[in-house]
Amino acid sequence: MKVVLFCGGLGTRIRTDGSTLPKPMTHIGTRPILWHIMRYYAHYGHKDFVLCLGYGANVIKDYFLNYRETASNDFVLSDGGRRVDMIDTDISDWTITFVDTGHETAIGERLRRVRPYLDGDEMFLANYGDGLSDVPINDLIATLPAHHAGSLLAVRPQDSFHVVGTDADGNLTGLLPVADMDMRINGGFFVLRQEIFDYIGEGEDLVMHGCVRAADAGRFSAIRYDGFWACMDTVKEHTYLEELNRGPCPPWKVWKHPGAAEPTAADPVRASLPGV
């Protein structure tokens, strides 16, 4: 199943050193977050990617055109350095389509512009390109109702602020961490059918136009998920992901989890999805 990744973000809120890198190319460890997302999908058998490029398109193109497998895989060096035999590989069986969808283009319009590269597939996946999760994506595919145009992952917000309760006189009546509230935000992991294009007009947004209209027609799902999810919009969030990445088993690296055999797209992993 094809995976559409929106890669046009500037990432201005995450820069601290004058960098001009597009947000998807911000590194976590030795690889950009875009790679981590792609590796996650590849683990579940989805290795055909369509990148919706915008700002910094050439940076993303050059990264993959000059990709070094040795940076994240074991290998054997011999013959005085003239021969390299890979023990493991990651992108060798990936297919990546690079499509320049414009600098200031709304996400719905970016999706419309790559529609010709979806080959008319009934279903496809999409992701904002700045969030990580351990959700078993094949379960989201399997649970999408037959009459729905798509679904999105509904997750708890990761913000640390508190909601303040007051009475009419301004007296404090309570403080509640937003993460403890029964509220959900869009996690940016989508399962979509071709019918979603019926709800997106030229220049429009995927969520506020396409998803809302499909939902109004009773044709869109929100899948509640309480497992790991984190986005990378700010320096604080980037630091948090870097700290997790230095740990023994970062939660989004499902391909490294103990006993994690690589499933295929045709053989969904039947893990628990709270709230389904």
pLDDT digits (tens, 9 = 90+) for 70-82: 887 888 999 988 8
Helix (H) or strand (E) holding 230: strand 229-231
Q: Indicate the domain borders of the chain.
A: 2-76+84-156+183-256
Confidence of residue 211 (pLDDT cuts 50, 70, 90): very high
Protein fold of 2-76+84-156+183-256: Spore Coat Polysaccharide Biosynthesis Protein SpsA; Chain A (3.90.550)
Point out the least confidently predicted range of 107-116, 155-164, 194-203. Answer: 155-164
pLDDT at 271: 36
Q: What is the mean pLDDT of the chain?
A: 88
Pair 64, 122: CB distance under 8 Å: no
**This prediction's pTM:** 0.86
The per-residue pLDDT for 272 is: 35
136's CB contacts (< 8 A; 6+ apart) are 44, 268, 269, 271, 273
98 pLDDT above the threshold of 70: yes
Bridge partner residues of 154 (DSSP): 186, 224
pLDDT per position as a tens digit, 41-64: 999 999 999 999 999 999 999 999
| pLDDT score recorded for residue 118 | 96
Q: What value does the mean pLDDT take over residues 130-145?
A: 96
Strand partners, 51: 5, 98
**Cα–Cα distance between 52 and 8 in angstroms, integer?**
7
Per-residue pLDDT, 13: 53
CB atoms closer than 10 angstroms to residue 251: 15
Lowest average pLDDT, out of 54-58, 221-225, 248-252, 270-274, goes to 270-274
Q: How many other CB atoms are found less than 10 A from the CB of residue 233? A: 15
